[in-house]
Each structure stands twice: as C-alpha cells, then as structure tokens.
C-alpha cells in the first residue's frame, strides 16, 4: 500500500520497536525554525510521553521511506486508505514541518485537518534509532550534497 502511494520502501514494524526520547523534542525547540509555528510542531504536537502511550496502544505499524517532501502526504493517504479498509485506529506521522499553509492558523483551527499530520520527530520519536533498527539507511546530513532520507510511520491497529 505505501509503495503504491509513492513510498520508496516500506516495512511492517511493531510499535514497541519505535524509539522515543524527551531529548528529541528539545532538538525541535532548540534548533528548528519551525518550533511553535504550526499545530503539528512542538509545543502544540504530542509530547514524547504521550507518543509512547499512543504507540503502546498499537500492535502493528508501517514504517516507510519517502521522496523529499512527500512523507506527510503519503502518511495521510495511507492512513485514510487503512481507515476505509476497517482499521479505524490508523494514524499517520510524517517528517518535517507542515507544508500545507504558508502561515498556520492554529489559533483559529487547522484549515486542513484531514491532511495535516505531525512529524515523527515533533512527537519525540527518535527517527535515526527507529529506522536503523529496521535496516533502513539514515545518516546525519553534513552538507547539502549529502543524501537525505525521509521517513513516515502509520500506526495501523
């Protein structure tokens, strides 16, 4: 399903293998220009503790690698497809800041609630540890010439 939506690779994983950490949110707060700018970014996104509790309520998930800028749209589409197939708990997470609006209207409510999804890292997921544990390649990007890898996660049931 994920590959049909544009994912480069996908793997079924156990949510218990998804790594979370309080430090991840700090990296958003102290280092990302998107902090506080939208509903899908900290401090508006779920905390690492809330994320861990959410993950613990699931038995299956799909981890996928996406082309640049497509993780959130793939996650939202896959979530919807799974929901319509009867997996009513399906929930997707993408990568990076929300691309849907130039300026977020979080004080008045989201204009795109069906498409807007938080990034894995915004919710305290250690993306590096999680994807490496599943055999995907990801490295720190040191220069603009270094390859960048983007990932999303859809919790299924």
> pLDDT per residue over 3-53, tens digit each?
989 999 999 999 999 999 999 999 988 988 888 888 888 998 999 999 999
Cis peptide preceding 26, ω within 30 of 0 = no
What average pLDDT does this structure show over 151-156? 99
Using a 10 angstrom Cβ sphere, with 0-12 exposed, 13-18 middle and 19 or more buried, the burial of residue 63 is buried
12 neighbors 78 (Cβ within 8 angstroms): no
Tokens describing residue 24 = 């991840």
d(CA 84, CA 79): 9
> pLDDT per residue over 57-99, tens digit each?
999 999 999 999 999 999 999 999 999 999 999 999 999 888 8
pTM score, whole prediction: 0.93
What average pLDDT does this structure show over 110-122? 88
Q: Residue written as tokens 């793997």? A: 11
Q: Among positive and negative, which fits the CA dihedral 49, 8, 145, 117?
A: negative
C-alpha 99 chain-centroid distance? 13
Tokens describing residue 152 = 């999303």
134 neighbors 19 (Cβ within 8 angstroms): no
The pLDDT value recorded for residue 73 is: 93
pLDDT at 129 over 80: yes
The pLDDT value recorded for residue 147 is: 86
Q: Binning pLDDT at 50, 70 and 90, where does residue 122 land?
A: very high
Return the ∠ at Cα 49 (arms to 44 and 51), rounded to 5°. 70
């Amino acid at each position: 399903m994920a590959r049909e939506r544009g994912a480069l690779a996908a793997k079924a994983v156990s949510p218990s293998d998804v790594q979370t950490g309080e430090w991840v949110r700090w990296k958003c707060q102290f280092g990302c220009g998107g902090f506080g700018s939208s509903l899908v970014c900290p401090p508006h996104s779920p905390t690492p503790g809330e994320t861990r509790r959410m993950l613990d309520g699931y038995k299956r998930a799909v981890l996928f690698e996406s082309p640049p800028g497509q993780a959130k749209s793939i996650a939202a589409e896959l979530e919807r497809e799974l929901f319509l197939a009867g997996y009513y708990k399906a929930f997707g997470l993408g990568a990076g800041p929300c691309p849907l609006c130039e300026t977020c209207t979080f004080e008045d409510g989201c204009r795109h609630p069906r498409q807007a999804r938080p990034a894995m890292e915004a919710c305290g997921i250690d993306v590096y540890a999680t994807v490496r544990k599943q055999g995907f390649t990801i490295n720190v990007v040191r220069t603009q010439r270094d390859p960048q890898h983007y990932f999303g996660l859809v919790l299924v049931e």
